[in-house]
Amino acid sequence: MADFFDRSFSVDEVAKFKPHPATYQMVADALDLQTDDLCMVACHLWDTIGAQAAGCKGAFLTRPNNNLIEAENVPQPHYLSDDLVDLAEQIIAANGG
């Protein structure tokens, strides 16, 4: 699967685990971006919540028995789908692609 990605990042670089903001800032710095330019794509809601708390966007891929938590104090992901291709198309469209 690694062949599908240009680069990977490790929390070893900052010695902190997500959702610590330093993990997301490390990626933004390495890519010469701001955290609000980043989007965490995940099938675990806590991953999108952590990324959004650090200023990133969140894209949630739903799976059976893995649903949103609909509550006032829980940030909802910016993008949502049960299909990875559809989720990617949403992100691309929202970013002018």
Q: Which pLDDT score is estimated for 69?
A: 81
pLDDT-derived band at 12, boundaries 50, 70, 90: very high
Q: CATH top-level class for 2-94?
A: alpha beta
pLDDT above 70: percentage of residues in the chain: 100
Residue keyed to tokens 């675990």: 44
Percent of the chain with pLDDT over 90: 78
Distances (CA, A) of 58 to 12, 18, 47, 54: 23, 14, 8, 11
**Cβ-contact 85, 61 below 8 angstroms:** no
Which residues pair with residue 42 across a beta bridge? 60
pLDDT tens, residue by residue, 13-47: 999 998 999 999 999 999 999 999 999 999 999 99
Domain ranges of the chain: 2-94
State how far the Cα of 10 lies from the Cα of 72, in Å rounded to an integer: 32
The confidence score (pLDDT) of residue 44 equals: 92
Peptide bond just before 21 cis, omega within 30 deg:
no
Q: What are the residues facing 45 on neighbouring strands?
A: none
Q: What is the pLDDT of residue 66?
A: 85
User: What is this structure's pTM?
Assistant: 0.89
Strands (E), the chain: 39-42, 57-61, 79-81
